[in-house]
A and B are shown apart, each in its own frame.
Chain A
Amino acid sequence: MKIRRLLAILVLAIACRAKEDAPRPAAGARPDPTAAPAPALGFLDESREGTPVEGGVLRRRLIGEPATLNAVLQSGLPEQQVLQYVSRQLVDFNPLLALVGNLAQRWTVSDDGLEYRFFLQPDAVWEDGTPVTSADAVFTIRRIVDSKVPSPVFKPLFESLEVIEAIDPTSFRTRFRDRDAFHAYAFALPLLPAHRFEGQPFLKARDNRAPLANGPYRVAKWKTQQSIELERNPLWKGAAGHFDRIVFRIVPENSVAYRALVEGDLDETWIDEPLKERSASDPRFQSCCRVVEFYNLDYNYIGLNNRSPLFSDARVRRAMTMLLDRPAIVKSLYAGSARIISGPWAPDSPAYDASVTPLPFDPHGAGELLDRAGWHDSNGNGTRDRAGKEFEFELLVSAGSNAGRQIDEIFAAELLRAGVRARIRPLEWATFIERVDSGAYEAATLGWAAADPNPDPFPYWHSSQFPPRGLNSSYFSDPAADRLMEDARHELDPEKRRQIYHRLHRVFREDPPVVFIANATQKYAFRRRVHGLVTSPLGLFGFSPGPLSWWGTPDEDVAATRK
């Protein structure tokens, strides 16, 4: 691993919460293995190295306890990480972000893009021996759209569902009301066994904590707030994982997880930049462990409320981008392991056009833009003003995001030199995101965590999606961008869609809705005994086979020590 020993201050990618994208649906239409660019530098594929050793225990870390193991009710990463071993999805993403069949051996899409038919593997069975049927799929999707069921992950993906019905025991059809290139992504969805929920209140069913497996592993033990243990599912046929048991330990603190890794209590953990630096000079770490670093689809940005008189002018928003010293942020905050972005995607997204260069850091040019937009320091108090209103605003940041706060400090200092005052205001997460989602803010530092490869900007940047109904909380409105976003989601041909996105990317550069910052690497630490790692733009976990390709040799140095 490259070891950078720059003076990097704390780095918590805005997705500082151990983010491990797990399986979940969203973006690109038909399976199209050529859709994504070849993974960039830093990607890892050890799947062909060495001969996998079968057996043993893999000890993984969860940052929090899963609230449920009901796939429909899941809302966070811990749930997804556990379910990935237990519940097969209808379809999966492969490491190159294309959809591949899993429980569904194939599927068809009607010419108008509205109707999908899925054909299930005939030999798939639940842990109790009953077959997985289309009735299970219909039950699962009906629960998702049920207004009495909170399904925050899947509900938005099925909002335009019109029909879901079984054709025969191994096939079913769904029809959507609108044409959307990304409907297929919704089916990266684990199924529930319908027969187990009969006569049980869905939200409180016994299976929600003891799910019936149809994947390679099943839940053996769940010790509240401590650990979840999985063992092999004896009825599983097919490519299995290599370990006999998977133990998830719930360790909320990052630094404790790091120690546990070095101790041999854990085999992997998400780490942040400070821990990565610490590991470089820690001989014990070096002897037992390694850092795995790669780019995924996350990025961060400073949201600007375009409805505010301060940011309604595109020239001002461009000036804001030019006043954020992104090269310095990449160098000092991320120790070089981040890429500056010029639009609402990470560079590894098929939608991203690498030829669209980011705006430069240019305080002088920014000053001119502000002048042209009518913001001058007319009263000589050091702050620009226009029509009697000073250029000052509140810059919200989530209190838990160290990187976000540091970016804000850098930004505010530069703004001050340019005659703009930003007051940084850290807020607790739920409070923070509620203000952003309701549009009650002027500027806010945000992270974009991609749970799937869906590049569709429509829900976040289209002018029909203003709060409270939609998630375009920057109130960005650009007729040209709107049209391109509509065209892209209606275009079923991946190549043509990509070209539309590239055109859209240029619009975003000229008329930036917000200040896009960078796509930073994700960092994990692994014990050296774990082999066969594969990373993808979806992270280490959010694709197939993900952690199922890992295998492990016995951990001698741990056996030798305590426990």
Chain B
Amino acid sequence: MIAYVLRRLALAIPTLFGIVVLVFLLLHLAPGSPASAVGSGESGRRVSAAAREEMRRLYGLDRPLPERFARWIGRVARLDLGDSFVDRRPVSARIREALPATLALNGLALFFTLAIGIPIGVAAGGRPEGPFDRTSAIVLFALYSMPVFWAALLLQTLLSVKLGWLPLYGVSSDPPPTGLAGVADRLAHLALPVTCLTYASLAFFARLVRAGVVEARSQDYVTAALARGVSRRGALWRHAFRNALLPLITLLGLLLPGLLSGSVIVERIFAWPGLGRLYFDSILSRDYPVVLGLSLIGAVATLAATLAADLAYAFADPRVREGS
């Protein structure tokens, strides 16, 4: 097991390096520059050539690409992500500021995806082609096909504007209430964006669980369990679902880094101060240090989660760790 872990870790390092080089090149070779993006997009301000040249020099963009890369890697090795081109604050500070908002949003969304998706998937897979399976398939497909921006605006219109039940946007009221009322206020602000993020991934997840359960329930051990007199429900949850869980581990490994990446659309519509908005705005303004910092963190998180998923898989399935 330890050898397996070490092997996987050793493999992760070149992968990480590859990702970092690729992101760096893509970003720096893409057209546009921090100087051309100045003035929050299309404010129409035209920066004079002299000012543009000076900005390039200030940001070190007049240096050759390999030199810029070496400097950046050198800083990252010292755990320094550099300063943002836009507000000149440390990249790490900007990320730290936006991280909690995104974690809360995506964490809750993931929780609800699992909490709703798994029961639906198991129930649907328990009786394939049954009425529940068919109905849920249609409903889930409809949800899956619904564009998030559209659903978000619709929900806002209905629940915030028409009925006035939920706040329109933001993370809290201004000024935020204290104590329990404060918690309730924050949860109310979370409700709509979490719903938007959940419904889209729900369909995908539930259908995957269903597929796993459908496959598992026709296995001999389920038949055997039923023959032993285990209830249908018991056979489904204790035998079929536990085996169907294996591919879910992999999927979870892929979903976890999404906790960090944020959702650009949802965060923009709900004016949510998270990482998705930071990433998007940074790309538009060609804020290279922030984009690189976020990409690096995303890459590390993906690799770590994949590694964790592999380990969990190995733990759950002896065939994997013994390499058979």
Which residue numbers of A lie inside 8 Å of B, CB to CB? 14-17, 19, 63-65, 67-68, 75-78, 147-148, 150-153, 155-156, 159, 203-204, 208-209, 223-227, 247, 249-253, 255-256, 259-260, 262-263, 265, 284, 298, 398, 400-401, 428-431, 433-435, 437, 447-449, 451, 459-460, 467-471, 561-563
Q: Are B87 and A430 in contact (CB under 8 A)?
A: no
Which residue numbers of B lie inside 8 Å of A, CB to CB? 30-33, 35-52, 54-55, 57-58, 83, 86-89, 97-98, 153, 156-157, 160-161, 164, 167-171, 173-174, 268-271, 273, 277-278, 281, 284-286
Q: Is the interface of A mostly helix, strand, loop or mixed?
A: loop
The contact of B164 among A204, A225, A562, by CB within 8 Å, is A562
**Least CB distance, B113 to chain A, in whole angstroms:** 25
Alpha-carbon distance between A501 and B281 when the two chains are bound, in angstroms:
40
Alpha-carbon distance between A227 and B174 when the two chains are bound, in angstroms:
9
Complex: chain B residue closest to A148, CB-CB = B58
Q: Which of B43, B58, B89 has the most CB of A within 10 A?
A: B43
Alpha-carbon distance between A208 and B173 when the two chains are bound, in angstroms:
27
Complex: chain B residue closest to A262, CB-CB = B161
Q: Are A259 and B156 in contact (CB under 8 A)?
A: yes
Q: Are B50 and A159 in contact (CB under 8 A)?
A: yes
Chain A residues lying within 8 Å of B277, measured Cβ to Cβ, are: 225, 252
Complex: chain B residue closest to A265, CB-CB = B168
Q: Are A75 and B39 in contact (CB under 8 A)?
A: yes
Complex: chain B residue closest to A223, CB-CB = B273
**Least CB distance, A60 to chain B, in whole angstroms:** 13
**Least CB distance, B126 to chain A, in whole angstroms:** 42
Q: Are B169 and A260 in contact (CB under 8 A)?
A: yes
Given A19-B43, A252-B277, A460-B46, output 13 extra A-B contacts at Cβ < 8 Å.
A67-B40, A76-B38, A152-B35, A159-B48, A249-B271, A259-B161, A260-B169, A429-B32, A433-B32, A434-B32, A437-B36, A437-B52, A448-B44
Chain A residues lying within 8 Å of B269, measured Cβ to Cβ, are: 253, 256
Chain A residues lying within 8 Å of B40, measured Cβ to Cβ, are: 17, 63-64, 67, 75-78
The contact of A226 among B52, B57, B170, by CB within 8 Å, is B170
Complex: chain A residue closest to B32, CB-CB = A430
Complex: chain B residue closest to A227, CB-CB = B174
- Knowing A204-B83, A226-B170, A255-B153, the reply to whether A468 touches B42 (Cβ < 8 A) is no
Complex: chain A residue closest to B101, CB-CB = A225
Q: Are A76 and B49 in contact (CB under 8 A)?
A: no
Alpha-carbon distance between A320 and B32 when the two chains are bound, in angstroms:
29
What are 17 residue pairs bridging A and B, where the CB atoms are less than 8 Å apart in the complex? Answer: A17-B41, A19-B43, A64-B281, A68-B88, A147-B57, A152-B38, A152-B47, A155-B54, A208-B88, A224-B273, A226-B271, A249-B170, A253-B271, A256-B269, A448-B44, A467-B49, A471-B49
Q: Are A226 and B58 in contact (CB under 8 A)?
A: no
**Least CB distance, A11 to chain B, in whole angstroms:** 15
- Knowing A76-B39, A247-B174, A253-B269, the reply to whether A19 touches B44 (Cβ < 8 A) is yes
The contact of A152 among B45, B161, B169, by CB within 8 Å, is B45
Alpha-carbon distance between A467 and B86 when the two chains are bound, in angstroms:
25
Complex: chain A residue closest to B33, CB-CB = A434
**Least CB distance, A10 to chain B, in whole angstroms:** 15
Q: Are B97 and A151 in contact (CB under 8 A)?
A: no
Alpha-carbon distance between A155 and B38 when the two chains are bound, in angstroms:
13
Chain A residues lying within 8 Å of B174, measured Cβ to Cβ, are: 227, 247, 249
- Knowing A253-B269, A429-B284, A430-B284, the reply to whether A155 touches B48 (Cβ < 8 A) is yes
Complex: chain B residue closest to A428, CB-CB = B32
Q: Which of B98, B153, B170, B284 has the most CB of A within 10 A?
A: B170
The contact of A17 among B42, B46, B171, by CB within 8 Å, is B42
Q: Are B86 and A225 in contact (CB under 8 A)?
A: no
Chain A residues lying within 8 Å of B268, measured Cβ to Cβ, are: 252-253
Alpha-carbon distance between A19 and B271 when the two chains are bound, in angstroms:
19
Alpha-carbon distance between A433 and B55 when the two chains are bound, in angstroms:
16
**Least CB distance, A292 to chain B, in whole angstroms:** 20
Alpha-carbon distance between A431 and B41 when the two chains are bound, in angstroms:
11
Alpha-carbon distance between A284 and B161 when the two chains are bound, in angstroms:
10
Q: Are A431 and B161 in contact (CB under 8 A)?
A: no
Alpha-carbon distance between A428 and B88 when the two chains are bound, in angstroms:
24
Complex: chain A residue closest to B37, CB-CB = A430
Chain B residues lying within 8 Å of A263, measured Cβ to Cβ, are: 160-161, 168
Q: Are B44 and A226 in contact (CB under 8 A)?
A: no
Q: Are B271 and A251 in contact (CB under 8 A)?
A: yes
Q: Which of B32, B33, B86, B281 has the most CB of A within 10 A?
A: B32
Alpha-carbon distance between A470 and B50 when the two chains are bound, in angstroms:
8
- Knowing A225-B277, A226-B271, A250-B271, the reply to whether A400 touches B42 (Cβ < 8 A) is yes
Alpha-carbon distance between A402 and B32 when the two chains are bound, in angstroms:
21
- Knowing A251-B271, A430-B31, A470-B49, the reply to whether A256 touches B169 (Cβ < 8 A) is yes
Complex: chain B residue closest to A204, CB-CB = B88
Alpha-carbon distance between A389 and B16 when the two chains are bound, in angstroms:
50
